[in-house]
Structure 1
Amino acid sequence: MRVWGWRWAYVVLGVVLRVALLLWGEWQDKHASLPYTDVDYSVFNDGAHALWSECRLEDTIDSPLYEVESDLWNEPALAAKAKCARGYLPAVARFVLQNDPAYARVKDSAGESFDSGALFVSASRTSFALTRPLFRLLATIGDPFTRATYRYTPLLALLLAPAHASATAPAYWGKLVFAAADVLCAVLMWMIIDARAEHHPRLARTRAWATHLPGVLWLLNPFPAQIATRGSADSLVGMLVLGCLALLLRATPEMELVGTHAVPGDHAKDDKTVHDPAELRVADERAWYGAAALLALAVHLKLYPVIYGASILAHLSTYRRHAIRILCHVNPTRQDVWILGAEFAAVSGTMYALLNLVVYLVWGQPFVRDALLYHLGREDHRHNFSVYFLPTYLAPSFDALNASGALQSVYVLAASPLLSFVPQLVACAYVGFKLGGRDLVLSCAVQTVVFVAWNKVYTSQYFLWYLVFVPVLGTTLHFGHTLKPVMLAAAWATAQAVWLFWAYRLEFLAQDTFVPLWLSSLLLLATHVYVVRACLQAWSAWRAREQIAHAKQT
């Protein structure tokens, strides 16, 4: 079977697996004591319901209790019914509708508010007629943050809104969206593999067997399929991140991936034309801007992809440096090297700021408080994989005892979410700038492992953040023994199993297992370090083999 035949087969089997899990989940939710659906999915749906259904005109401008916008929050009878978005745009829309000449309450003491024969009134009525649908839509947008634990972008609730807009829409609409994004992740993995194979001939020879990696490790893997079909939105973030990398690699190929400095097709080596560095652009402008847009959207959906900025900057500087040397036959200055990365950061940052501005104008201060600032100061003492969970749990005791010395340092670190971010972000930045110019996918993967392993809070679904890179990484790793990847996967799974054993005894048997559970968290952290170290050694071995092979050919 040819490459595309295998890919279609994997996609079909992946879809079948996810549909089967969706059907099983529906049955389990109805008949089993332990639900299949993730609790976060209920939060998403509650937010979507509030956004679509809980800000009706009859409860706002049609209500006799509504005179000004502040009545929606200050009038108890209105506040109990109307859960409206608090941004400027919905407020303006309600004000405009309230003063619509066709609106029943716009009357003066004599009857109609305007002289119907005036030219101005005729134009005014025409304007209102054309814009009324838009104003009605904005005026009836609800506030998903009225759901106490909704801490996400309102765009996620908007994505799930069709399930509440129509009586015929399935309740598992959001799961279908997440499962579809999960399948698209594999398609994007193939796109990245193909982009690398196109620019680097020795990788092209591995394209056939590399096709099986996304198929087996992702599409047929029940772990990511279950996470998506349980109602987790992490597949959306993975899709956006992979899409960003696929477009970026199309626009700016990895110049040092196999130890060569050739541009696509190697034809640039024969180009004797001397170019001006200021005139050099990326290989695909639309792909470059698309990558910036997808990164901005990914960061808006979940903050952690911002760490990839270091890897992308290093990648773009390497691309720019080699492009100038090959096409301009000069040694580039520091400004020439970093200009492309600065442009990408400016474009992506501007897109992110504009996206946040639009969302803020619609949903207002609750968006800033619950979707942005909450995650910076989040504290969660409940047991989770993080090594911080026990110090966070014990922090109030340290404070009450006026502990000093080492205990006080533990308390400060545990009680300050921002302080705990410092070593995490410093490590991510170091990894990004160190590896990004050599292998963009590897760099992003290692950054993600570092970020997750040292995060204040993380659960099983967080593992998807770095597992989404594994099928692509498999093409650039060389292990000394064929069983080594299996041993690494077994060690990773065993460390989780040990943690889950003690967590089960704590959660379901009410036994005091805090200390062994925390030691299990340390074991999982050590396992992450061991696996990353082994993968970096395998990448170095693959790179060395490729350089030797290239030297023999030339």
Structure 2
Amino acid sequence: MDATLDYIGQVPPRSLILAAVFLRLILIAVAEVQDYLAEMPYTDVDYQVFTDAAESIALGLSPYEGRTALLAAEATRYRYTPLLAFLLLPNVWLHKAWGKLLFSGLDVAAACLLQGILQHKRSKRISLSLALWLFNPFCFTISTRGSGESVVVLLIYAVIYFLEVRKNWPLAALCYGIAVHWRIYPIVNALPIALFLLGFGRARDFLQLVGFGCVTAAVLLGLGLACYKLYGHEFIECSYLHHSSRRDPQHNFSVYFYPVALHLEGTFNGMVPDLARFAAVPQILLCAWLGFAARDELPVAMLLQTLAFVATNKVLTAQYFVWWLCLVPFVLPKLESCSRLTRCMLVWMAAEVHWLLWAYLLEFRQLPVRPAVWVASCLFLLAHINVLCEVRRGTGPKAHAA
């Protein structure tokens, strides 16, 4: 396994980037054909939701109004910042594939920032790290199917780049504010960012932290007020409040889905509590501990926090995996050997496939296997924890001492 990884690591970064561009263009072209001919489309349903929202804006309407049957359906309602819909207006004006090209281009732009960060640190395995991001099936399929997660990935990479390479905290704060406005979840990384800015505890480091917080808050407030002025409370409800009150009884990767379903259905005479209500408690505690424990390495702390956040979230879908997978490339140069982490990732993938098999039997074969899907979700949680423990083991103090 190490020999294979070493071979990949010898490929020049420029060749990897060019190959990644070519791969994404091919997949976008294949998507056009498959969507037209095949019963099962390649394009994600969310992409159609984005496009419908952009069409609403082009007509002078709110992206949250539910103009079409697709947008009006509760399960597929537009629940993102209106900035995303504005970004995809060329889907309406030019071609519907614009967004896929944009998201794929942001994938490549993120890789360029990743390369710059690793070169600045004089890291080993730069090509291997780039390959892990550019050719990870979870990443390139997410973008070419039309999911916009690469926007936040690029912003997170930019935060790390401006903090560690350029030492430019105002630009880092600007990117961080936009990232939190766009997707909320990067707020969990506030603690390791704050500890990074504090440095050695000098007075000027404290002022730097205050400045970073003020710029981030100003960006969040400014974007929030602008969107609120355009679309009122509907923006607040769909972009933010929905996520805090969301209860999803449909099967998903989260271990909470089955208890939520039993609670809402009143099973066992209503004795099943609403466990999802308390989901934020272990998330906050775990993210705070990991952010402090791994404070010496900003990208590692962000990876551990995001991985823990995703694994313990009350709703978990495949696109959430990109949130932490995009940070794994920062860990590879720090590992003495990549074999252990590779094996953990393979176990994680096997646990996902195992879950998908049961979910297929439930959704498409209509078999009564919902408890088995939940057991598969529990095993998938353990697979997440296994990856987290391996990252911590390979990058912790003992690993550096060795």
TM-score scaled to structure 2, two decimals? 0.91
1:214–1:472: 8 Å Cα contact kept in structure 2?
yes
Question: 2:270, 2:348 → 1: CA distance?
Answer: 39
Pairwise CA distance, 1:373: 1.1
| Structure 2 residue 230 is matched with structure 1 residue 355 | no
CA distance in 1, matches of 2:363, 2:218: 45
Contact 2:119/2:126 (8 A) holds in 1: no
Match for residue 429 of structure 1?
A: 288
**1:316 alignment partner, SS class:** helix
8 Å CA contact 1:186–1:214 kept in 2: the answer is: no
2:319 aligned partner: 461
How far off is 1:358 after superposition? 1.4
TM-superposed CA distance for 1:346, in Å, is 2.1
Q: Deviation at 1:457?
A: 0.9
Which of 488, 498, 516 is equivalent to 2:344?
488
CA distance in 1, matches of 2:10, 2:89: 35
Q: Which amino acid aligns with 1:226?
A: T
Q: Distance in 1 between matches of 2:330 and 2:234?
A: 39
Structure 1 residue 195: deviation in Å?
A: 2.6
Is the 1:453–1:528 contact (alpha carbons within 8 Å) kept by the matching residues of 2?
yes
Deviation at 1:226, TM superposition (A): 0.9
* SS of residue matched to 2:12: helix
3-state SS of 1:177 partner = helix
Which protein is richer in helix relative to its size? Answer: 2
Name the residue aligned to 2:260. Answer: 392
1:532 maps to which residue?
388
**Percent identity among equivalent residues?**
34
**Following TM superposition, by how much is the alpha carbon of 1:342 offset from its aligned partner in structure 2, in angstroms?**
2.9
Within 2, Cα distance between the matches of 1:367 and 1:492? Answer: 36
* Corresponding residue SS for 2:304: helix
Contact 1:195–1:246 under 8 Å retained in 2: no
**Partner residue of 1:186?**
111
Aligned to 1:412: 274
Distance in structure 2 (CA, Å) of the matches to 1:374 and 1:368: 8
1:442 positional shift: 0.4
Pick the aligned partner of 2:197 from 293, 313, 316. 316
DSSP-derived class of the 1:361 partner: helix
Q: What is the root-mean-square deviation in Å for CA atoms of aligned residues? A: 1.9
Any residues of structure 2 matched to 1:25-64 within 5 Å, and which?
A: 25-53=31-59, 55=60
Q: Secondary structure at the match of 1:505?
A: helix
Alpha carbons 1:300, 1:356 under 8 Å: kept: yes
Counterpart Cα distance in 2 of 1:389 and 1:369: 22
Q: Deviations over 1:19-49 (max 9, x none)?
A: 0100111111011111100010011000000
1:151-175 CA-partner distances (Å, limit 9, x unpaired): 11000000001222x3xx1111111
- The equivalent of 2:379 in structure 1 is 523
2:310 aligned with 1:452, yes or no? yes
One-letter code aligned to 2:371: V
Q: Distance in 1 between matches of 2:210 and 2:200?
A: 12
1:473 aligns with 2:331: yes
Distance between the aligned counterparts of 1:367 and 1:179, measured in 2?
Answer: 27
List per-residue Cα deviations over 1:488-546 (Å, max 9, x = no partner).
1211111111111111100111001111111111111111111211221111354114x
* Partner Cα separation in structure 2 for residue 222 and residue 521 of structure 1: 21
Shift of 1:288: 1.1
- Show CA shifts across 1:203-227 (max 9, x none): 4xx3xxx221233212233331111
Does structure 1 residue 22 correspond to structure 2 residue 28? Answer: yes
Q: 2:356 aligns with which of 477, 487, 500?
A: 500
Note the 1:249-260 alignment, pairs <5 A.
249-251=164-166
Query: How big is the shift at 1:363?
Result: 2.0
Distance 1:400 1:542, change over 3 A: closer
CA distance in 2, matches of 1:402, 1:489: 39
The answer to whether the 8 A contact 1:478-1:539 is kept is no
Partner deviation per Cα, 1:135-155 (whole Å, 9 max, x = no partner):
xxxxxxx21011230111000
Aligned to 1:513: 369
2:5 is matched with which residue? Answer: none
Kept in 2: contact 1:38–1:230 (CA 8 A): yes
Matched residues in 1 for 2:170 and 2:204: separation?
20
Equivalence for 1:441 = 299
How many angstroms does 1:4 deviate by? 12
Match of 2:69 in 1: none
Residue of structure 2 equivalent to 1:544? 401
> What residue identity is the alignment partner of 1:294?
C
- What do the CA deviations read for 1:459-499 (whole angstroms, capped 9, x no partner)? 111111001011121011224xx632331121111111111
Native 8 Å contact 1:448 1:466 kept in 2: yes
Give the letter aligned to residue 62 of structure 2: D
Contact 2:308 2:388 survives alignment (8 Å): no
Answer with 1 or 2: which has the greater Rg: 1
Instruction: Indicate the residue corresponding to 2:80 in structure 1.
Output: 152
Question: Does the C-alpha gap of structure 1 residues 195 and 38 become closer, same or farther in structure 2, counting only changes over 3 Å?
Answer: same
2:148 to 233, 236, 241: 233
Could you tell me which of 228, 232, 249 is aligned with 1:381?
249
SS at match of 2:234: helix
8 Å CA contact 2:46–2:146 kept in 1: the answer is: yes
Q: Give the direction of change, closer, same or farther, for the CA distance of 1:50–1:474 in structure 2 (3 Å limit).
A: same
The size of the alignment, in residue pairs, is 384
Query: Which residue number corresponds to residue 247 of structure 1?
Result: 162
* Structure 2: gaps of 5 or more residues: 1-8, 67-71
Q: CA deviation at 1:187?
A: 1.0
Confirm whether residue 220 of structure 1 aligns to residue 135 of structure 2: yes
